[in-house]
Structure 1
Amino acid sequence: MRLITLALAALLLLIQYPLWLGKGGWLRVKDLEQQVDDAHAKNDELKRRNGKLDSEVRDLKDGTGAVEERARYELSMIKQNEIYVQILHKGQIPGDGATPAPPAADEPAKPARR
């Protein structure tokens, strides 16, 4: 009787192995579900990014507002008969918004001519 009980317990453990650790086991299924959820999240993020890029492309193709805005901010272009005013903070070089001026030597700095 004891031998039959041990044999049945061993068979039960052998049957459980594929259920837990086999190719279609619960642990593998859980891992695949996590991968699917991660892929869905990434796809949603990429869809939002593509939507933004699509609207920007349509705006660049159809309207002139986006082109003008890019020309103003990225290329510092101005319209005809407009006046461009640049405000410099103390120690900045004209034409460069981030580089501080080198320390002055013995003579005072001369204003830039345009």
Structure 2
Amino acid sequence: MRWAGAGLLLLLLLLQTRLWTGDGSIPVAIGLHAEVAEQRQANQQLDERNRALAADVADLRRGQGSIEERARRDLGLIGPEERFYLVIDEDAR
């Protein structure tokens, strides 16, 4: 009977060791859960960025006004019947 109890205790210790150390252990599982949470947050931010880009693409496909506005803002477009005046602030120098 003593040997059976000692054997069972040894078996319990071996199973506990496997549970707390190694590949499928509890600390590894906790770390993986934290990584999954971080990845979900990163994916959410990327989804928001993708929605904004998709809205920009749809707006650009819809009309010339958005293309012209973007060209004015980003590239400094000046229309054929427009004049460009550069105002230099002397106080800013």
**TM-score interval, normalised by the smaller of the two chains:** 0.7 to 0.9
Aligned to 1:32: 32
CA distance in 1, matches of 2:14, 2:75: 72
Give the secondary structure class of the aligned counterpart of 2:89.
coil
Distance 1:79 1:33 in 2: 56
Partner of 1:53: 53
Query: Please, what TM-score do these two structures have when normalized by structure 1?
Result: 0.64
1:16-44 Cα deviation digits (max 9, x unpaired):
11111133221111011111111111111
Q: Which has the higher helix share?
A: 2
**For the aligned residues, what is the CA RMSD?**
2.7
Larger radius of gyration: 1
Q: Normalised by the size of structure 2, how large is the TM-score?
A: 0.76
Mapping 1:1-114, distance limit 5 Å: 10-90=10-90
| Aligned mates of 2:71, 2:11 — CA distance in 1 | 76
Distance 1:46 1:40 in 2: 10
* Structure 1 runs not aligned, ≥5 long: 93-99, 101-114
Runs of 5+ consecutive residues of structure 2 not aligned to the other structure: none
Which deviates the most, 42-51 or 12-21? 12-21
Identity within the alignment, %: 34
Query: What one-letter code is carried by the residue in structure 1 that aligns with 2:62?
Result: D
